[in-house]
Structure 1
């Protein structure tokens, strides 16, 4: 079973400057809850029991949000606003935190979770990739992992002009919506191998750490998770699961606004 998850949240959020000088992009609100809260709840709904969040030193707001606020609880109780207490209660999951001292890429962030993971399979959830559909599709990915016992990568069909922003796979379809992967190319500038892009959800095994150890950092010192996954595709096996659900990249302003509107409509209907 898959019970552990890593959420990398240490990036600078340069696409969202200047606001990210002061507010982490993971804390951007949607219906009075930050984006990362939706990601954590997605993990919990899929059966995750332990979550490691990778932070940088200027993102302590994330730790504060998932902690208790004794002063606020006291204030609400004193002023007979007990109905609000449930809304600020921390999620029922075991949190751990590690700092990424430098922005050395997603692969490096995942490496920092090696002790946390141990010998267990684990999920990686990118906190700016959001799906509002319930239940979230992570459950289906975990069931697929239980079938194949190999890495499962979340995919979505993307318009050709946007493929240069994602990792793009090539592979062989083995059943409806499932591919055996043969390679993954990070942000192809031309001739992408398909229109299936990696969409921010991964189920990995500890083998990924050996693959990351063998990589050399790219220009700028970054270690890319995609390169390690590409190595695993060719040396062992990895599978892709194609999402049918709508996903939002909340670090893109237009998609963030659409996610807000969709969440507002869902809230009004409920």
Structure 2
């Protein structure tokens, strides 16, 4: 029987240079999708999958993320005195239970693999999830919860994937599937990081959601720097495939790359259209702007 997935790692040490000057003083993870920071959407996904403890791997100037998940006594006292019950209930709902979060520092920007390795002592010898905070997933059932279902059935390691156009595969990490009938959950027999155009083994990109076994930490510790002079998570996963199974899951839902400007804007529109109090006005504004642009 597979050991349960209780912990998740969220690497939040990146600089967010693509969003300068907005991210000069505000972490990119705290930019909002409608009315919630990006990081809140990712944490909500993890908690919906039954994650009990979240490890944030932070960097310099990321203390506001820790503050976001803490009590703000002055704010809550003011809301209480003003009888803002709904706002107080919302803040209480998003606050993690005491002791259910940890924060550790990635002191140098040595890559995603290094950021995950920084969480090794907190995770310990148990399987865990990784959620990249640049990516948020809009779905009926939490993307990670879908992955946990597959993990509970098959064990091993599970990676979320989704289709991309063939002419864009060179921009992503791509999986190679084992031969056999195609379905949503398929064994993986290889991975390629940003394959050259025309050489991609599939059109399934790695989305930024992983369930990995703790043996990955030993491989990350031993690993030399790879592409870009950084310690790459993909390189260690490829080594781990020599001894453990990997399963890809084409999850139900859609991801938004909030590390890019267009993905960030698209996410705001998609989530905004789901909110009944603003969706109608938002559609009107989008229609008006589209007609005005076409008329230029």
For residue 135 of structure 2, what is the aligned residue in structure 1? 129
Q: Report the Cα distance in structure 1 between the residues aligned to 2:142 and 2:179, rounded to whole angstroms.
A: 23
Partner SS state of residue 248, structure 1: strand
Q: CA deviation at 1:213?
A: 2.2
TM-score by length of 2: 0.86
Q: Report the Cα distance in structure 2 between the residues aligned to 1:219 and 1:237, rounded to whole angstroms.
A: 24
Q: CA deviation at 1:255?
A: 1.7
* Matches for 1:19-38 after TM superposition, within 5 Å: 19-38=22-41
TM-score by length of 1: 0.94
Deviations along 1:171-230, one digit per CA (max 9) or x if unpaired, are 215551122111111122331221111000000110111221232112654100011111
Work out which of the residue numbers 14, 30, 34 in structure 2 matches 1:11. 14
For residue 92 of structure 1, what is the aligned residue in structure 2? 96
For residue 209 of structure 1, what is the aligned residue in structure 2? 217
Aligned length: 270
Q: CA deviation at 1:86?
A: 1.5
Q: Report the Cα distance in structure 2 between the residues aligned to 1:266 and 1:219, rounded to whole angstroms.
A: 39
Q: Cα gap change, 1:92/1:15 in structure 2, threshold over 3 Å: closer, same or farther?
A: same
Work out which of the residue numbers 221, 231, 255 in structure 2 matches 1:223. 231
* Matches for 1:226-265 after TM superposition, within 5 Å: 226-265=234-273
For residue 116 of structure 2, what is the aligned residue in structure 1? 110
Q: Report the Cα distance in structure 1 between the residues aligned to 2:233 and 2:143, rounded to whole angstroms.
A: 22
For residue 61 of structure 1, what is the aligned residue in structure 2? 64
Q: CA deviation at 1:157?
A: 0.7
Equivalent residues of 2:158, 2:247 under 8 A apart: yes
Q: Report the Cα distance in structure 2 between the residues aligned to 1:262 and 1:268, rounded to whole angstroms.
A: 12
Mean CA deviation greater in 104-113 or 88-97: 88-97
Partner SS state of residue 273, structure 2: helix
Q: Give runs of ≥4 in structure 1 deviating > 4 Å.
A: none
Mean CA deviation greater in 239-248 or 201-210: 239-248
Query: Gaps spanning 5+ residues in structure 2: where?
Result: 280-296
Q: Report the Cα distance in structure 2 between the residues aligned to 1:31 and 1:242, rounded to whole angstroms.
A: 27
Q: Larger Cα Rg: Structure 1 or Structure 2?
A: 2
Partner SS state of residue 276, structure 2: helix
Q: Report the Cα distance in structure 1 between the residues aligned to 2:152 and 2:235, rounded to whole angstroms.
A: 24
Partner SS state of residue 22, structure 1: coil
Q: Cα gap change, 1:127/1:246 in structure 2, threshold over 3 Å: closer, same or farther?
A: same
Mean CA deviation greater in 57-66 or 127-136: 127-136
Equivalent residues of 2:157, 2:244 under 8 A apart: no
Partner SS state of residue 130, structure 2: strand
Q: Report the Cα distance in structure 1 between the residues aligned to 2:131 and 2:153, rounded to whole angstroms.
A: 21
Work out which of the residue numbers 179, 192, 196 in structure 1 matches 2:204. 196
Equivalent residues of 1:153, 1:203 under 8 A apart: yes
Equivalent residues of 1:217, 1:223 under 8 A apart: yes
